[in-house]
Amino acid sequence: MSQIGSFALLLALALCAYSFLAGILALVNKGPASARIGETARRAGIASFAIVFLAAVVLVVAAFQNDFSIAYIFHHSNRDLPAPYKFATLWSGQEGSLLFWALLLSAYGLVLRLRYKTDVRLFAYASVIIAAVQVFFLLLLNFAANPFGVMQGTLPAEGTGLNPLLQYPEMVIHPPMLYLGYVGFTVPFAFALAALIMRYPGEKWIQITRRWTMVTWGFLTCGVFLGAHWAYSVLGWGGYWGWDPVENASLMPWLTGTAFLHSVMMQEKRGMLKTWNMWLIFSTFMLSIFGTFLTRSGVVSSVHAFAQSSIGDWFVAFLAIIFATCLFFYVKNRSHLRTEHKLESLVSRESSFLFNNLLLLVACFTVLWGTLFPVLSEWVQGTKVTVGPPFFNRVNIPVALLLLLLTAVGPLLAWRRTSIDSLKRNFLWPAIGALALGILLVALGMKPWKDVSYFYSLMTIMLSALVAFTVISEFIRGGRVIGRHTGQNLFASMVQLAHRNTRRYGGYIVHFGVIVIMIGFAGSVFNQDKEQEMGFGDKMTIGAYTLVCQSYTQDDNPNYGSEWAVMNVFKGGKQIATLNPERRFYKASQQTSTMVANRSTPQQDLYVVYEGQNPETGRPIIKVHLNPLVMWVWVGVWIMIVGTVVALIPNAVQARVAAPARMRVEPVGAGD
């Protein structure tokens, strides 16, 4: 098995190297011979997918066959591991996850190479760039982190098992989503660099790139929040985001990708910010690679990083090469990106995008700065400091609030120029609504003067309400116009409205999802928790709930032994649920893990953790968290996904503008 896998990886490397070199040759030279070479390069790239896929299949089959002669399988699987997790073995460790990276990259490359007829030359350039990235990962897999390395000495009869924290259903889907996001940014990067190298005329490449970026961004969004949900459900500390370096690594490309999705509209609509957009997409790709480096190099300590290894140096070298290449071609062809930037008014969609980009990049910088400051501090002072949640929350929350404000105001601004009257007309009622909500919340007992966190929470809710009101008013206003012309009801008109300009209204839906998530975040200020030793019949009261310990039960299966509590939950004297927080002991890895019991409602989560037994008294310890509004976070993510899908749907009707024979230059209304 290992020989087939190793051979497949070598063959894939050879194919990608050929695709890269022959691709360059074909692009540099002209003539029919070059075209034929170019075609072979494209086909070699396609074939590389099949070969990398074969390698991945070999690894998965080895996991299912319990082939512990392969060191990777020995370290990440065991005989009694359930089938879905055996499949997930592919991305559960350093080497396997790099193979998964290479597989997804070759899959993206396959799609790109099959769709080459869209624009043969642009796609040929992009294919070469993707082949270069493939070569890097295959070099890594062949020479630094081979997943098919074999065990030395006597063959073990049993593996050491998969990390218990990874034995959770979401771990079967979270890494693929995250990797689809990370890896996917290679494609827009390849198109951007290709357009720069070939001095691509026109803006078609930006439309192709934007679409790819949106798909990738959607995957990354899913991946990031699936990770948050996994952390919430498995780690048992009651939260979903701990500003861990690995979490930060996934957030950074998401932030720059978000900035790109906004600023690219400036280029499409007004031909502005060409250089900026180019570097934004370069940065997003580099941050994806940087995130992979952070996770795997051991440069910063993290709860869920991969094992430390020497592959960090490979990533540093690769990052340096990428940066040098981008810089070289930018300097060489920067004249191609030259545009005349003109703004007609400060109160315009263009300036709102500029500020939006600034805030997103400052947020990204802050995350990067906080993640790397321990390294910098050790270098300067000789002592490593910790940069944890208090730092990130303090510096990022004001930026997030400003972004929320822009999310509310931005869509109300027209391209080119917005009159103050129109802004007032569109903004007045949403602002009054948000203010009224704030006053209501204060009247209901929210005290923003009590603590800065309460102030932030109130501001978040008010600004989220402002965004919600503006988004809803945009839908209603547009829906009414369509309804007047078609006679449809308001809902049908709004659906038609969204279908006519999916990108704009899909974007609004995404914004709506973001504010639902932000409200969920704001709820964390009111988190409560309580820890108590609980024997049979013992009670614990938290908030409106009373938990009564009914019993403790044990079970055993080949993979793990478990012990769980049976907790009856009462509210207002009435039993409303029975929760079973569980603690497992995994036999192969000899590690314990918690399985949280969570009663989730839109109002709050009752989150119960069985922490184990007090070593001194032998009594079980139960920790209960009462976390308000957490469900909003997950609902918000679904709304964002829906919005992204809507934005990807082609418009139903191409807008027609009846232009009079005599035209005057007039300020225009709001576009997307």
Partner 1 sequence: MKIKKSLSSRAKRGIWVIGTGGKDRDSSSLALLGMTDVFLKRSAQLVVLAVAVFTLLGAGDQSARFNDLGHKMMCVCGCNQILLECNHVGCAYSERMRAELATAVDRGDNDDLTLQGFVQKYGTTVMAAPTKTGFNRVAWITPYLVLGLGLVMVTVIVRAWRSRPLVLPDGSVAAVHGAELERFRNQARKDTEV
Query: Looking only at residues 500 through 559 of this chain, which bind partner 1 when binding is defined by CB under 8 A?
Result: 500-501, 504
Figure out which of the listed residues 34, 233, 333, 351 binds partner 1, where binding follows CB under 8 A. Answer: 351
Nearer to partner 1, 149 or 239 (CB): 239
Nearer to partner 1, 296 or 504 (CB): 504
Partners of 542 in the beta sheet? 545
Restricting to residues 402-461, name those near partner 1 by CB under 8 A.
Answer: 415-416
Nearest residue to 272 via CA among 358, 326, 329, 206: 206
Burial (0-12, 13-18, 19+ Cβ within 10 Å), 124: buried
- Least Å from the CB of residue 218 to partner 1: 22
Nearer to partner 1, 19 or 366 (CB): 366
- Least Å from the CB of residue 37 to partner 1: 38
The per-residue b/e assignment along 464-493, b for 16 or more CB within 10 angstroms, e otherwise, is: bbbbbbbbebbbeebbeebbeeeeeeeeeb
- 355 lines the binding site for partner 1 (CB under 8 A): yes
**Interface with partner 1 by CB under 8 A: which range of 11-19, 327-335, 494-502, 550-558?**
494-502
d(CA 36, CA 43): 11
Figure out which of the listed residues 358, 442, 472, 476 binds partner 1, where binding follows CB under 8 A. Answer: 358
- Least Å from the CB of residue 163 to partner 1: 15
Burial (0-12, 13-18, 19+ Cβ within 10 Å), 665: exposed
Nearer to partner 1, 549 or 641 (CB): 549
Nearer to partner 1, 86 or 504 (CB): 504
Nearer to partner 1, 268 or 538 (CB): 268
Nearer to partner 1, 168 or 355 (CB): 355
Angle at which helices 32-64 and 2-28 cross, to 10°:
160
Figure out which of the listed residues 478, 483, 513, 628 binds partner 1, where binding follows CB under 8 A. Answer: 478
Figure out which of the listed residues 394, 425, 484, 539 binds partner 1, where binding follows CB under 8 A. Answer: 394
Angle at which helices 389-409 and 452-486 cross, to 10°:
30
Q: How far is CA 620 from CA 130, 250, 526, 549, 591, in A?
A: 54, 37, 27, 10, 18
- Least Å from the CB of residue 397 to partner 1: 12
- Least Å from the CB of residue 373 to partner 1: 5
- Least Å from the CB of residue 663 to partner 1: 5
User: Residue 277 phi/psi, 5° resolution?
Assistant: -65, -40
- Least Å from the CB of residue 529 to partner 1: 8
Burial (0-12, 13-18, 19+ Cβ within 10 Å), 557: exposed
Q: What is the dihedral of CA 290, 295, 296, 302, to 10 degrees?
A: 140
User: x/- binding map, residues 298-317, to partner 1, per CB under 8 A?
Assistant: ---xxx--------------
- Least Å from the CB of residue 365 to partner 1: 6
Figure out which of the listed residues 35, 346, 490, 649 binds partner 1, where binding follows CB under 8 A. Answer: 346
Figure out which of the listed residues 156, 535, 558, 669 binds partner 1, where binding follows CB under 8 A. Answer: 669
The two three-digit tokens of residue 283, written as one number: 């940065």
Figure out which of the listed residues 344, 452, 536, 557 binds partner 1, where binding follows CB under 8 A. Answer: 344
- Least Å from the CB of residue 589 to partner 1: 16
- Least Å from the CB of residue 359 to partner 1: 8
Report the Cα 144 to chain-centroid distance in Å.
Answer: 27
Restricting to residues 581-600, name those near partner 1 by CB under 8 A.
Answer: 594
**Interface with partner 1 by CB under 8 A: which range of 127-135, 220-228, 351-359, 506-514?**
351-359
The type of residue at 95 is E
- Least Å from the CB of residue 351 to partner 1: 5
Figure out which of the listed residues 613, 635, 642, 648 binds partner 1, where binding follows CB under 8 A. Answer: 613
Partners of 607 in the beta sheet? 598, 625
Q: What is residue 233's DSSP assignment?
A: I
* 8 Å CB contact between 588 and 560: no
Nearer to partner 1, 354 or 588 (CB): 354
Nearer to partner 1, 59 or 534 (CB): 534
- Least Å from the CB of residue 160 to partner 1: 20
Restricting to residues 218-277, name those near partner 1 by CB under 8 A.
Answer: 235-239, 242, 244, 268-269
The two three-digit tokens of residue 151, written as one number: 């065990």
Nearer to partner 1, 297 or 501 (CB): 501
Helix (H, G, I), strand (E, B) or coil at 594: strand
Nearer to partner 1, 269 or 587 (CB): 269
- Least Å from the CB of residue 289 to partner 1: 23
The two three-digit tokens of residue 432, written as one number: 């009054």
The two three-digit tokens of residue 343, written as one number: 């703004």
Restricting to residues 312-341, name those near partner 1 by CB under 8 A.
Answer: 340-341
Restricting to residues 94-153, name those near partner 1 by CB under 8 A.
Answer: none
- 489 lines the binding site for partner 1 (CB under 8 A): no
**Interface with partner 1 by CB under 8 A: which range of 12-20, 87-95, 129-137, 606-614?**
606-614
Restricting to residues 636-665, name those near partner 1 by CB under 8 A.
Answer: 655-657, 659, 661-665
Cα angle 46-5-167, degrees, rounded to a multiple of 5: 100
The type of residue at 278 is M
Restricting to residues 370-389, name those near partner 1 by CB under 8 A.
Answer: 370, 373, 377, 380-381, 383-389
The count of residues interacting with partner 1 (CB under 8 A) is 74
Report the Cα 260 to chain-centroid distance in Å.
Answer: 15
Placement of tokens 């051991």 in the chain: 298
Placement of tokens 């050790």 in the chain: 378
Q: What is the dihedral of CA 132, 137, 140, 143, to 10 degrees?
A: -70
- 490 lines the binding site for partner 1 (CB under 8 A): no
Angle at which helices 389-409 and 502-522 cross, to 10°:
140
Figure out which of the listed residues 115, 332, 342, 484 binds partner 1, where binding follows CB under 8 A. Answer: 342
* 8 Å CB contact between 401 and 460: yes
Work out the number of other CB atoms within 10 angstroms of the CB of residue 656: 6
- Least Å from the CB of residue 517 to partner 1: 21
- Least Å from the CB of residue 83 to partner 1: 30
Figure out which of the listed residues 64, 168, 391, 570 binds partner 1, where binding follows CB under 8 A. Answer: 391
Pairing of β 591-595 and β 620-628: unpaired
Q: What is the dihedral of CA 509, 511, 515, 517, to 10 degrees?
A: 80
- Least Å from the CB of residue 354 to partner 1: 5
d(CA 419, CA 39): 55
The two three-digit tokens of residue 20, written as one number: 């890269």
* 8 Å CB contact between 73 and 67: yes
